[in-house]
Structure 1
Amino acid sequence: MSTPYVQLIFTLEPVQPTTEILTAELAQIGFESFVDTEAGMEAYIPKNDWNETAFSQIPFLKNPDFSIQYTVNSIEPKNWNEVWESDFKPIIIEEKCAVRADFHDPISVDYELIITPKMSFGTGHHQTTYMMLQHILDLDLDEATVLDMGCGTGVLAILALKKGALKADAIDIEPWCYENTIENAGLNDCKNLTAFEGDSSLLKDQKYDLIIANINKNVLLKDIPVYASCLSKSGILLLSGFYSSDIEDIKNVCNLANLDYSTHFEKEDWVAVKFIKQ
Protein backbone atom coordinates (compact mmCIF):
# COMPACT_ATOMS: atom_id res chain seq x y z
CA MET A 1 0.00 0.00 0.00
CA SER A 2 1.34 3.45 -0.89
CA THR A 3 2.11 5.67 2.09
CA PRO A 4 2.85 9.41 2.31
CA TYR A 5 6.40 10.05 3.48
CA VAL A 6 8.43 12.92 4.86
CA GLN A 7 11.81 13.37 3.16
CA LEU A 8 14.77 15.10 4.79
CA ILE A 9 17.63 16.12 2.50
CA PHE A 10 20.88 16.66 4.41
CA THR A 11 24.00 18.56 3.40
CA LEU A 12 26.76 17.36 5.72
CA GLU A 13 30.35 18.38 6.42
CA PRO A 14 32.26 16.16 6.63
CA VAL A 15 30.06 13.67 4.78
CA GLN A 16 31.59 10.82 6.82
CA PRO A 17 31.35 9.89 9.62
CA THR A 18 28.44 12.38 9.87
CA THR A 19 26.22 10.25 7.60
CA GLU A 20 26.88 7.09 9.60
CA ILE A 21 26.17 8.71 12.97
CA LEU A 22 23.10 10.58 11.75
CA THR A 23 21.63 7.44 10.15
CA ALA A 24 21.82 5.64 13.50
CA GLU A 25 20.19 8.56 15.32
CA LEU A 26 17.35 8.89 12.79
CA ALA A 27 16.64 5.16 12.83
CA GLN A 28 15.94 5.48 16.56
CA ILE A 29 13.01 7.83 15.90
CA GLY A 30 11.39 5.91 13.07
CA PHE A 31 13.24 6.78 9.87
CA GLU A 32 13.29 3.63 7.75
CA SER A 33 15.07 4.42 4.48
CA PHE A 34 18.35 6.20 3.73
CA VAL A 35 20.07 7.15 0.49
CA ASP A 36 23.67 8.40 0.32
CA THR A 37 24.34 11.48 -1.83
CA GLU A 38 27.53 13.30 -2.77
CA ALA A 39 26.73 16.11 -0.35
CA GLY A 40 25.28 13.99 2.45
CA MET A 41 22.15 11.86 2.54
CA GLU A 42 18.38 11.63 2.19
CA ALA A 43 16.22 10.12 4.92
CA TYR A 44 12.60 8.98 4.73
CA ILE A 45 9.95 8.42 7.40
CA PRO A 46 6.21 7.63 7.06
CA LYS A 47 4.29 10.88 7.51
CA ASN A 48 2.27 9.42 10.41
CA ASP A 49 5.53 8.67 12.27
CA TRP A 50 7.14 12.07 11.70
CA ASN A 51 7.66 13.96 14.97
CA GLU A 52 9.37 17.29 14.47
CA THR A 53 9.92 17.74 18.20
CA ALA A 54 11.67 14.38 18.56
CA PHE A 55 13.81 15.21 15.54
CA SER A 56 14.82 18.65 16.85
CA GLN A 57 15.90 17.11 20.16
CA ILE A 58 18.56 14.87 18.59
CA PRO A 59 21.75 16.16 20.31
CA PHE A 60 24.00 15.35 17.34
CA LEU A 61 22.27 18.01 15.23
CA LYS A 62 23.81 20.68 17.46
CA ASN A 63 27.32 19.18 17.61
CA PRO A 64 29.70 22.09 16.81
CA ASP A 65 32.23 19.71 15.22
CA PHE A 66 29.86 18.93 12.33
CA SER A 67 27.93 21.04 9.84
CA ILE A 68 24.40 19.66 9.38
CA GLN A 69 21.95 21.47 7.12
CA TYR A 70 18.66 20.04 5.94
CA THR A 71 15.36 20.67 4.19
CA VAL A 72 12.07 18.91 4.89
CA ASN A 73 9.74 17.82 2.09
CA SER A 74 6.41 16.05 1.98
CA ILE A 75 6.40 13.13 -0.49
CA GLU A 76 3.14 12.07 -2.06
CA PRO A 77 2.24 8.35 -1.95
CA LYS A 78 4.13 6.34 -4.55
CA ASN A 79 5.23 2.83 -5.37
CA TRP A 80 8.41 2.62 -3.29
CA ASN A 81 9.38 -0.68 -4.87
CA GLU A 82 9.66 1.13 -8.19
CA VAL A 83 11.78 3.84 -6.55
CA TRP A 84 14.21 1.31 -5.12
CA GLU A 85 14.30 -0.58 -8.42
CA SER A 86 15.37 2.56 -10.23
CA ASP A 87 18.00 3.51 -7.62
CA PHE A 88 19.54 0.15 -6.76
CA LYS A 89 22.09 -1.11 -9.27
CA PRO A 90 23.84 -4.51 -9.12
CA ILE A 91 27.54 -4.54 -8.26
CA ILE A 92 30.24 -7.09 -9.07
CA ILE A 93 33.30 -7.67 -6.86
CA GLU A 94 36.45 -9.05 -8.51
CA GLU A 95 34.35 -10.83 -11.17
CA LYS A 96 33.55 -13.47 -8.52
CA CYS A 97 30.69 -12.06 -6.49
CA ALA A 98 27.58 -10.10 -7.48
CA VAL A 99 25.08 -8.31 -5.27
CA ARG A 100 21.69 -7.72 -6.86
CA ALA A 101 18.03 -7.37 -5.95
CA ASP A 102 15.41 -9.98 -6.76
CA PHE A 103 14.05 -7.79 -9.56
CA HIS A 104 17.40 -7.83 -11.42
CA ASP A 105 18.33 -10.45 -13.97
CA PRO A 106 20.62 -13.26 -12.70
CA ILE A 107 24.37 -12.60 -12.94
CA SER A 108 26.75 -15.43 -13.83
CA VAL A 109 29.43 -15.35 -11.12
CA ASP A 110 30.70 -17.79 -8.51
CA TYR A 111 28.69 -16.17 -5.72
CA GLU A 112 25.43 -14.35 -6.42
CA LEU A 113 23.86 -12.55 -3.45
CA ILE A 114 20.24 -11.38 -3.59
CA ILE A 115 19.58 -8.46 -1.25
CA THR A 116 16.30 -6.61 -0.73
CA PRO A 117 17.38 -2.96 -0.98
CA LYS A 118 15.51 -1.49 1.96
CA MET A 119 18.47 0.63 3.05
CA SER A 120 21.56 1.98 1.32
CA PHE A 121 24.06 0.45 3.74
CA GLY A 122 24.68 -3.25 3.31
CA THR A 123 24.15 -3.63 -0.41
CA GLY A 124 27.86 -3.57 -1.20
CA HIS A 125 27.81 -0.07 -2.62
CA HIS A 126 29.44 1.50 0.43
CA GLN A 127 33.23 1.27 0.41
CA THR A 128 33.40 -0.63 3.70
CA THR A 129 30.90 -3.31 2.68
CA TYR A 130 32.63 -3.73 -0.68
CA MET A 131 36.03 -4.29 0.99
CA MET A 132 34.61 -6.72 3.53
CA LEU A 133 33.18 -8.75 0.66
CA GLN A 134 36.68 -8.71 -0.88
CA HIS A 135 38.19 -10.08 2.34
CA ILE A 136 35.60 -12.86 2.58
CA LEU A 137 36.24 -13.85 -1.04
CA ASP A 138 39.91 -14.40 -0.13
CA LEU A 139 39.18 -16.74 2.80
CA ASP A 140 38.81 -20.51 2.99
CA LEU A 141 35.63 -20.86 5.04
CA ASP A 142 34.82 -24.55 4.67
CA GLU A 143 33.02 -25.69 7.87
CA ALA A 144 33.82 -22.35 9.58
CA THR A 145 31.59 -20.77 12.21
CA VAL A 146 30.93 -17.08 11.52
CA LEU A 147 29.65 -14.02 13.36
CA ASP A 148 28.49 -10.89 11.50
CA MET A 149 28.26 -7.98 13.98
CA GLY A 150 26.31 -4.92 12.88
CA CYS A 151 25.01 -7.11 10.09
CA GLY A 152 22.78 -4.56 8.30
CA THR A 153 21.30 -6.56 5.43
CA GLY A 154 23.21 -9.72 6.42
CA VAL A 155 25.09 -9.63 3.11
CA LEU A 156 28.48 -10.50 4.66
CA ALA A 157 27.15 -13.51 6.57
CA ILE A 158 25.35 -14.66 3.43
CA LEU A 159 28.56 -14.60 1.37
CA ALA A 160 30.40 -16.48 4.14
CA LEU A 161 27.77 -19.24 4.03
CA LYS A 162 27.90 -19.42 0.24
CA LYS A 163 31.68 -19.85 0.57
CA GLY A 164 31.18 -22.95 2.70
CA ALA A 165 30.79 -21.74 6.28
CA LEU A 166 29.00 -24.22 8.52
CA LYS A 167 26.80 -21.64 10.23
CA ALA A 168 26.57 -17.89 10.75
CA ASP A 169 25.10 -15.70 13.46
CA ALA A 170 24.14 -12.14 12.50
CA ILE A 171 23.55 -9.44 15.11
CA ASP A 172 22.31 -5.86 14.75
CA ILE A 173 20.97 -3.42 17.29
CA GLU A 174 18.40 -2.05 14.82
CA PRO A 175 15.13 -4.03 14.49
CA TRP A 176 14.78 -3.19 10.80
CA CYS A 177 18.26 -4.65 10.13
CA TYR A 178 17.38 -7.79 12.07
CA GLU A 179 14.18 -8.22 10.05
CA ASN A 180 15.91 -7.46 6.74
CA THR A 181 18.63 -10.02 7.48
CA ILE A 182 16.01 -12.72 8.03
CA GLU A 183 14.34 -11.77 4.75
CA ASN A 184 17.62 -11.83 2.82
CA ALA A 185 18.65 -15.15 4.35
CA GLY A 186 15.46 -16.59 2.91
CA LEU A 187 16.08 -15.07 -0.51
CA ASN A 188 19.51 -16.73 -0.58
CA ASP A 189 18.36 -20.07 0.88
CA CYS A 190 20.73 -19.64 3.83
CA LYS A 191 19.14 -21.99 6.34
CA ASN A 192 22.16 -21.89 8.66
CA LEU A 193 21.98 -18.13 9.24
CA THR A 194 20.48 -17.07 12.59
CA ALA A 195 19.72 -13.39 13.17
CA PHE A 196 19.56 -11.67 16.56
CA GLU A 197 18.48 -8.18 17.61
CA GLY A 198 20.98 -6.77 20.11
CA ASP A 199 24.65 -6.00 20.68
CA SER A 200 27.86 -7.61 21.95
CA SER A 201 26.18 -8.52 25.25
CA LEU A 202 24.71 -11.49 23.35
CA LEU A 203 28.17 -13.02 22.82
CA LYS A 204 28.79 -14.58 26.23
CA ASP A 205 30.26 -18.11 25.93
CA GLN A 206 30.20 -18.03 22.09
CA LYS A 207 33.06 -19.19 19.84
CA TYR A 208 33.65 -18.45 16.15
CA ASP A 209 36.33 -19.05 13.52
CA LEU A 210 35.56 -15.75 11.78
CA ILE A 211 34.10 -12.55 13.19
CA ILE A 212 33.08 -9.71 10.86
CA ALA A 213 32.36 -6.27 12.32
CA ASN A 214 31.57 -3.33 10.05
CA ILE A 215 30.60 -0.74 12.66
CA ASN A 216 31.79 2.72 13.66
CA LYS A 217 35.17 3.19 15.31
CA ASN A 218 33.95 3.91 18.85
CA VAL A 219 31.87 0.74 19.02
CA LEU A 220 34.78 -1.30 17.65
CA LEU A 221 37.25 0.08 20.20
CA LYS A 222 34.86 -0.87 22.99
CA ASP A 223 33.97 -4.32 21.68
CA ILE A 224 37.26 -5.64 20.21
CA PRO A 225 38.17 -7.39 23.51
CA VAL A 226 34.76 -9.12 23.43
CA TYR A 227 35.31 -10.25 19.84
CA ALA A 228 38.78 -11.56 20.72
CA SER A 229 37.38 -13.63 23.58
CA CYS A 230 34.92 -15.24 21.16
CA LEU A 231 37.52 -16.16 18.51
CA SER A 232 38.97 -19.64 18.27
CA LYS A 233 42.76 -20.01 18.13
CA SER A 234 44.04 -18.63 14.81
CA GLY A 235 40.57 -17.24 14.21
CA ILE A 236 40.14 -14.23 11.93
CA LEU A 237 38.69 -10.83 12.80
CA LEU A 238 37.66 -8.50 9.95
CA LEU A 239 37.04 -4.89 10.97
CA SER A 240 35.75 -1.93 8.98
CA GLY A 241 33.73 1.25 9.41
CA PHE A 242 36.66 3.61 9.99
CA TYR A 243 39.32 5.57 8.09
CA SER A 244 42.96 4.81 7.27
CA SER A 245 43.95 7.45 9.84
CA ASP A 246 42.28 5.30 12.53
CA ILE A 247 44.24 2.11 11.84
CA GLU A 248 46.83 2.69 14.56
CA ASP A 249 44.15 3.19 17.22
CA ILE A 250 42.47 -0.04 16.11
CA LYS A 251 45.79 -1.92 16.02
CA ASN A 252 46.69 -0.81 19.54
CA VAL A 253 43.48 -2.22 21.01
CA CYS A 254 43.81 -5.40 18.94
CA ASN A 255 47.40 -5.94 20.11
CA LEU A 256 46.25 -5.81 23.73
CA ALA A 257 43.67 -8.47 22.88
CA ASN A 258 46.31 -10.79 21.30
CA LEU A 259 45.17 -10.06 17.76
CA ASP A 260 47.91 -9.72 15.15
CA TYR A 261 47.56 -7.41 12.15
CA SER A 262 47.56 -9.30 8.85
CA THR A 263 46.55 -7.02 5.96
CA HIS A 264 44.02 -4.42 4.90
CA PHE A 265 42.20 -3.00 1.90
CA GLU A 266 41.77 0.74 1.37
CA LYS A 267 39.12 2.48 -0.71
CA GLU A 268 38.62 6.26 -0.74
CA ASP A 269 40.17 6.66 2.76
CA TRP A 270 38.00 3.87 4.22
CA VAL A 271 39.75 0.67 5.31
CA ALA A 272 38.89 -2.95 6.07
CA VAL A 273 41.50 -4.68 8.22
CA LYS A 274 42.23 -8.36 8.86
CA PHE A 275 43.56 -9.55 12.24
CA ILE A 276 44.43 -13.08 13.37
CA LYS A 277 44.15 -14.32 16.96
CA GLN A 278 47.42 -15.61 18.46
Structure 2
Amino acid sequence: MDFVALNIPVANGAQAEILVAELAEFPFESFESGSDVLKAYIPQERLADCKTEVDALLARYGVSGRYISIEAQNWNALWEQNFPASDIEGRLRIRAPFHEPAPEGEPEIIVMPKMSFGTGQHATTWLMARGVLDLGLAGRRGLDMGSGTGVLSIVAAKCGAVHVDAVDIDEWADANCRENIAANGVEACVEPMLGDVARIAGRTYGFIFANINRNILLRDMHAYAAALLPGGDLLMSGFLEADVPAVVEAAQAEGLAFVASASRDGWMMVHVRK
Protein backbone atom coordinates (compact mmCIF):
# COMPACT_ATOMS: atom_id res chain seq x y z
CA MET A 1 0.00 0.00 0.00
CA ASP A 2 1.41 3.38 -1.02
CA PHE A 3 0.96 6.43 1.19
CA VAL A 4 0.98 10.18 0.68
CA ALA A 5 2.56 12.58 3.17
CA LEU A 6 0.83 15.94 3.44
CA ASN A 7 3.44 18.44 4.64
CA ILE A 8 1.90 21.53 6.23
CA PRO A 9 3.97 24.51 7.44
CA VAL A 10 2.83 25.53 10.93
CA ALA A 11 3.56 28.55 13.08
CA ASN A 12 3.75 26.68 16.38
CA GLY A 13 2.80 23.53 18.25
CA ALA A 14 -0.65 24.83 19.12
CA GLN A 15 -1.54 25.29 15.46
CA ALA A 16 -0.23 21.81 14.69
CA GLU A 17 -2.42 20.27 17.41
CA ILE A 18 -5.51 22.04 16.09
CA LEU A 19 -4.81 20.84 12.55
CA VAL A 20 -4.28 17.26 13.78
CA ALA A 21 -7.68 17.36 15.47
CA GLU A 22 -9.31 18.64 12.28
CA LEU A 23 -7.50 16.26 9.92
CA ALA A 24 -8.35 13.28 12.14
CA GLU A 25 -11.87 13.55 10.68
CA PHE A 26 -10.41 12.35 7.36
CA PRO A 27 -8.69 9.01 6.57
CA PHE A 28 -5.25 10.14 7.76
CA GLU A 29 -3.63 7.30 9.68
CA SER A 30 -0.66 8.97 11.35
CA PHE A 31 0.74 12.40 12.18
CA GLU A 32 4.26 13.63 12.81
CA SER A 33 4.80 17.10 14.23
CA GLY A 34 8.12 18.94 13.98
CA SER A 35 9.16 22.44 14.98
CA ASP A 36 7.72 24.09 11.89
CA VAL A 37 5.95 21.40 9.86
CA LEU A 38 3.14 18.94 10.42
CA LYS A 39 3.19 15.72 8.38
CA ALA A 40 -0.08 13.83 7.91
CA TYR A 41 -0.02 10.39 6.29
CA ILE A 42 -2.91 8.97 4.27
CA PRO A 43 -3.29 5.92 1.99
CA GLN A 44 -2.89 7.10 -1.57
CA GLU A 45 -6.06 5.35 -2.68
CA ARG A 46 -8.14 7.28 -0.13
CA LEU A 47 -6.77 10.76 -0.81
CA ALA A 48 -8.86 11.44 -3.91
CA ASP A 49 -12.10 11.09 -1.92
CA CYS A 50 -11.23 13.89 0.48
CA LYS A 51 -8.51 16.06 -1.10
CA THR A 52 -10.90 18.89 -2.02
CA GLU A 53 -12.27 19.04 1.53
CA VAL A 54 -8.78 18.85 3.05
CA ASP A 55 -7.51 21.69 0.87
CA ALA A 56 -10.54 23.78 1.83
CA LEU A 57 -9.87 23.07 5.50
CA LEU A 58 -6.25 24.19 5.20
CA ALA A 59 -7.36 27.32 3.35
CA ARG A 60 -9.67 28.22 6.26
CA TYR A 61 -6.63 28.18 8.54
CA GLY A 62 -4.57 30.21 6.09
CA VAL A 63 -2.08 27.44 5.33
CA SER A 64 -1.34 25.22 2.34
CA GLY A 65 0.07 21.73 2.11
CA ARG A 66 2.42 19.83 -0.16
CA TYR A 67 1.54 16.24 -1.07
CA ILE A 68 4.47 13.82 -1.37
CA SER A 69 4.07 10.18 -2.42
CA ILE A 70 5.78 7.57 -0.23
CA GLU A 71 6.46 4.09 -1.54
CA ALA A 72 5.10 1.35 0.68
CA GLN A 73 8.48 -0.33 1.13
CA ASN A 74 9.85 2.82 2.79
CA TRP A 75 7.12 3.07 5.43
CA ASN A 76 8.56 0.76 8.08
CA ALA A 77 11.92 2.49 7.80
CA LEU A 78 10.14 5.80 8.38
CA TRP A 79 8.51 4.40 11.53
CA GLU A 80 11.82 3.06 12.86
CA GLN A 81 13.35 6.50 12.37
CA ASN A 82 10.55 8.51 13.98
CA PHE A 83 8.82 6.24 16.50
CA PRO A 84 10.48 6.44 19.95
CA ALA A 85 9.61 4.20 22.87
CA SER A 86 7.08 5.69 25.28
CA ASP A 87 7.43 5.68 29.05
CA ILE A 88 4.30 5.96 31.21
CA GLU A 89 5.71 7.48 34.39
CA GLY A 90 8.11 4.56 34.90
CA ARG A 91 5.12 2.25 35.32
CA LEU A 92 4.96 0.91 31.79
CA ARG A 93 7.13 1.05 28.69
CA ILE A 94 5.52 0.88 25.24
CA ARG A 95 8.10 0.02 22.62
CA ALA A 96 8.58 -1.47 19.17
CA PRO A 97 10.60 -4.67 18.62
CA PHE A 98 13.56 -2.60 17.41
CA HIS A 99 13.82 -0.61 20.68
CA GLU A 100 15.89 -1.58 23.70
CA PRO A 101 13.93 -3.60 26.29
CA ALA A 102 12.59 -1.84 29.37
CA PRO A 103 14.82 -1.62 32.43
CA GLU A 104 14.61 -4.66 34.66
CA GLY A 105 11.47 -4.60 36.77
CA GLU A 106 9.56 -2.17 34.52
CA PRO A 107 6.57 -3.74 32.72
CA GLU A 108 6.50 -3.34 28.96
CA ILE A 109 4.39 -4.09 25.93
CA ILE A 110 5.64 -4.43 22.38
CA VAL A 111 3.80 -2.69 19.56
CA MET A 112 4.71 -2.58 15.88
CA PRO A 113 2.54 0.32 14.70
CA LYS A 114 2.87 -0.04 10.91
CA MET A 115 -0.06 2.03 9.56
CA SER A 116 -2.18 1.97 12.73
CA PHE A 117 -2.58 4.73 15.29
CA GLY A 118 -1.58 3.93 18.86
CA THR A 119 2.09 3.80 19.72
CA GLY A 120 2.00 5.49 23.12
CA GLN A 121 3.94 8.51 21.89
CA HIS A 122 0.89 10.63 21.09
CA ALA A 123 -0.51 12.52 24.06
CA THR A 124 -3.95 10.90 23.78
CA THR A 125 -2.58 7.35 23.85
CA TRP A 126 -0.28 8.26 26.74
CA LEU A 127 -3.19 9.71 28.72
CA MET A 128 -5.40 6.71 28.03
CA ALA A 129 -2.66 4.22 28.92
CA ARG A 130 -2.07 5.96 32.24
CA GLY A 131 -5.82 5.97 32.87
CA VAL A 132 -5.96 2.24 32.19
CA LEU A 133 -3.16 1.61 34.68
CA ASP A 134 -5.11 3.49 37.35
CA LEU A 135 -8.51 1.92 36.68
CA GLY A 136 -8.29 -1.42 38.45
CA LEU A 137 -9.26 -3.92 35.75
CA ALA A 138 -8.59 -7.29 37.38
CA GLY A 139 -11.42 -9.69 36.52
CA ARG A 140 -13.33 -7.16 34.41
CA ARG A 141 -14.55 -7.33 30.79
CA GLY A 142 -14.30 -4.34 28.49
CA LEU A 143 -14.26 -2.67 25.09
CA ASP A 144 -11.50 -0.80 23.25
CA MET A 145 -13.39 1.24 20.65
CA GLY A 146 -11.23 2.45 17.77
CA SER A 147 -8.47 0.14 18.96
CA GLY A 148 -5.84 0.91 16.29
CA THR A 149 -2.71 -1.08 17.16
CA GLY A 150 -4.54 -2.67 20.09
CA VAL A 151 -2.20 -0.97 22.54
CA LEU A 152 -4.89 -0.11 25.13
CA SER A 153 -6.43 -3.58 24.89
CA ILE A 154 -3.01 -5.07 25.56
CA VAL A 155 -2.44 -2.77 28.54
CA ALA A 156 -5.85 -3.77 29.92
CA ALA A 157 -5.04 -7.46 29.52
CA LYS A 158 -1.71 -6.97 31.28
CA CYS A 159 -3.63 -5.25 34.09
CA GLY A 160 -5.80 -8.33 34.62
CA ALA A 161 -8.84 -7.75 32.38
CA VAL A 162 -10.36 -11.14 31.54
CA HIS A 163 -11.66 -10.09 28.12
CA VAL A 164 -11.44 -7.06 25.82
CA ASP A 165 -13.25 -6.54 22.51
CA ALA A 166 -10.88 -4.51 20.30
CA VAL A 167 -13.05 -2.85 17.64
CA ASP A 168 -11.72 -0.86 14.68
CA ILE A 169 -13.25 0.04 11.34
CA ASP A 170 -9.94 -0.17 9.46
CA GLU A 171 -8.85 -3.55 8.02
CA TRP A 172 -5.15 -2.72 8.37
CA ALA A 173 -5.62 -1.77 12.02
CA ASP A 174 -7.50 -5.01 12.65
CA ALA A 175 -4.65 -7.05 11.14
CA ASN A 176 -2.02 -5.06 13.05
CA CYS A 177 -3.96 -5.49 16.30
CA ARG A 178 -3.92 -9.27 15.80
CA GLU A 179 -0.15 -9.21 15.30
CA ASN A 180 0.40 -7.12 18.41
CA ILE A 181 -1.81 -9.15 20.74
CA ALA A 182 0.05 -12.28 19.59
CA ALA A 183 3.41 -10.60 20.18
CA ASN A 184 2.33 -9.82 23.75
CA GLY A 185 0.77 -13.22 24.46
CA VAL A 186 -2.74 -11.94 25.18
CA GLU A 187 -4.68 -13.69 22.39
CA ALA A 188 -6.77 -15.53 24.96
CA CYS A 189 -8.35 -12.38 26.36
CA VAL A 190 -8.30 -9.79 23.53
CA GLU A 191 -10.70 -10.30 20.61
CA PRO A 192 -10.15 -8.05 17.55
CA MET A 193 -13.43 -7.14 15.84
CA LEU A 194 -13.53 -5.41 12.45
CA GLY A 195 -16.34 -2.85 12.21
CA ASP A 196 -17.91 0.21 13.77
CA VAL A 197 -20.03 0.79 16.86
CA ALA A 198 -22.75 -1.48 15.46
CA ARG A 199 -20.51 -4.44 16.39
CA ILE A 200 -21.18 -3.90 20.09
CA ALA A 201 -24.99 -4.01 19.86
CA GLY A 202 -26.34 -6.27 22.59
CA ARG A 203 -22.97 -6.55 24.38
CA THR A 204 -22.23 -5.21 27.84
CA TYR A 205 -18.97 -4.14 29.43
CA GLY A 206 -17.50 -3.14 32.76
CA PHE A 207 -15.21 -0.61 31.08
CA ILE A 208 -14.94 1.09 27.70
CA PHE A 209 -12.01 2.94 26.13
CA ALA A 210 -12.73 5.31 23.23
CA ASN A 211 -9.69 7.20 21.92
CA ILE A 212 -11.23 8.49 18.70
CA ASN A 213 -12.27 12.11 18.12
CA ARG A 214 -14.85 14.55 19.39
CA ASN A 215 -17.46 14.11 16.67
CA ILE A 216 -17.49 10.32 16.80
CA LEU A 217 -17.60 10.37 20.60
CA LEU A 218 -20.62 12.66 20.57
CA ARG A 219 -22.33 10.61 17.87
CA ASP A 220 -21.79 7.27 19.60
CA MET A 221 -22.17 8.29 23.26
CA HIS A 222 -25.60 6.68 23.50
CA ALA A 223 -24.20 3.34 22.31
CA TYR A 224 -21.36 3.48 24.83
CA ALA A 225 -23.75 4.27 27.68
CA ALA A 226 -26.12 1.49 26.64
CA ALA A 227 -23.28 -1.04 26.60
CA LEU A 228 -21.81 0.03 29.94
CA LEU A 229 -22.82 -1.91 33.04
CA PRO A 230 -23.86 0.02 36.19
CA GLY A 231 -20.70 1.18 37.92
CA GLY A 232 -18.76 0.80 34.67
CA ASP A 233 -16.07 3.24 33.54
CA LEU A 234 -15.75 5.06 30.22
CA LEU A 235 -12.39 6.65 29.35
CA MET A 236 -12.40 8.98 26.34
CA SER A 237 -9.70 10.92 24.51
CA GLY A 238 -8.87 12.27 21.06
CA PHE A 239 -10.03 15.85 21.64
CA LEU A 240 -8.73 19.19 22.84
CA GLU A 241 -9.43 21.15 26.01
CA ALA A 242 -12.07 23.31 24.31
CA ASP A 243 -14.08 20.17 23.53
CA VAL A 244 -14.32 18.92 27.13
CA PRO A 245 -17.62 20.69 28.00
CA ALA A 246 -19.39 19.18 24.96
CA VAL A 247 -18.06 15.69 25.69
CA VAL A 248 -18.97 15.84 29.38
CA GLU A 249 -22.42 17.26 28.63
CA ALA A 250 -23.12 14.47 26.14
CA ALA A 251 -22.01 11.85 28.66
CA GLN A 252 -24.14 13.33 31.44
CA ALA A 253 -27.15 13.38 29.13
CA GLU A 254 -26.76 9.59 28.90
CA GLY A 255 -26.65 9.15 32.67
CA LEU A 256 -22.86 9.04 33.00
CA ALA A 257 -21.27 10.93 35.87
CA PHE A 258 -18.07 12.92 35.50
CA VAL A 259 -15.17 11.40 37.49
CA ALA A 260 -11.98 13.13 36.34
CA SER A 261 -10.07 14.67 33.46
CA ALA A 262 -6.40 14.93 32.58
CA SER A 263 -4.40 16.88 30.01
CA ARG A 264 -1.14 16.48 28.11
CA ASP A 265 0.20 18.80 25.42
CA GLY A 266 -3.24 20.38 24.98
CA TRP A 267 -5.00 17.04 24.51
CA MET A 268 -7.53 15.75 27.03
CA MET A 269 -8.78 12.54 28.61
CA VAL A 270 -12.16 12.41 30.34
CA HIS A 271 -13.29 9.66 32.73
CA VAL A 272 -17.02 9.15 33.35
CA ARG A 273 -18.89 6.41 35.19
CA LYS A 274 -22.36 4.89 34.93
TM-score class, shorter-chain normalisation, is 0.7 to 0.9
CA distance in 2, matches of 1:193, 1:76: 32
Which of 22, 30, 53 is residue 59 of structure 1 equivalent to? 53
Query: Which SS does the other structure have where 1:25 is aligned?
Result: coil
Q: CA deviation at 1:60?
A: 3.1
CA distance in 1, matches of 2:267, 2:46: 34
Say yes or no: does 1:140 pair with 2:136: yes
* Counterpart residue type for residue 147 of structure 1: L
CA distance in 1, matches of 2:206, 2:3: 43
Q: CA deviation at 1:250?
A: 1.2
Written as runs of structure 1 = structure 2, the 5 A alignment for 1:108-187 is 108=103, 109-119=105-115, 121-187=117-183
Q: CA deviation at 1:83?
A: 3.3
* Counterpart residue type for residue 121 of structure 2: H
RMSD across aligned positions (CA): 2.6
Instruction: Please say which of residues 116-125 and 213-222 is displaced more in the overlay.
Output: 116-125
CA distance in 1, matches of 2:9, 2:23: 12
CA distance in 2, matches of 1:239, 1:270: 11
Say yes or no: does 1:88 pair with 2:83: yes
Q: CA deviation at 1:77?
A: 8.2
* Contact 1:34/1:119 (<8 A) preserved: no
Q: Report what 2:6 is aligned to.
A: 8
CA distance in 2, matches of 1:12, 1:91: 25
* Contact 1:12/1:69 (<8 A) preserved: no
* Counterpart residue type for residue 10 of structure 1: I
Q: Report what 2:232 is aligned to.
A: 235
Aligned residue pair count: 267
CA distance in 2, matches of 1:232, 1:82: 43
* Counterpart residue type for residue 270 of structure 1: W
Q: Report what 2:255 is aligned to.
A: 258
* Counterpart residue type for residue 37 of structure 1: G
* Contact 1:148/1:211 (<8 A) preserved: yes
Instruction: Please say which of residues 111-120 and 72-81 is displaced more in the overlay.
Output: 72-81
Q: CA deviation at 1:25?
A: 2.7
CA distance in 2, matches of 1:221, 1:44: 24
* Contact 2:166/2:193 (<8 A) preserved: yes
TM-score by length of 1: 0.85
Q: Report what 2:271 is aligned to.
A: 274
Instruction: Please say which of residues 181-190 and 100-109 is displaced more in the overlay.
Output: 100-109
* Counterpart residue type for residue 196 of structure 1: M
Structure 1: 5+ residue stretches without partners: none
Which of 87, 91, 101 is residue 106 of structure 1 equivalent to? 101
Q: CA deviation at 1:26?
A: 4.1
Say yes or no: does 1:25 pair with 2:23: no
* Counterpart residue type for residue 207 of structure 2: L
* Counterpart residue type for residue 263 of structure 2: E
**How many percent identity over aligned positions?**
34
For the structure 1 residues 76 and 220, does the alpha-carbon distance in structure 2 shift closer, same or farther, using more than 3 Å as the test?
closer
For the structure 1 residues 172 and 36, does the alpha-carbon distance in structure 2 shift closer, same or farther, using more than 3 Å as the test?
farther
* Contact 1:23/1:34 (<8 A) preserved: no
* Contact 2:7/2:66 (<8 A) preserved: yes
Structure 2: 5+ residue stretches without partners: none
* Contact 1:122/1:155 (<8 A) preserved: yes
CA distance in 2, matches of 1:128, 1:160: 16
Query: Which SS does the other structure have where 1:236 is aligned?
Result: strand
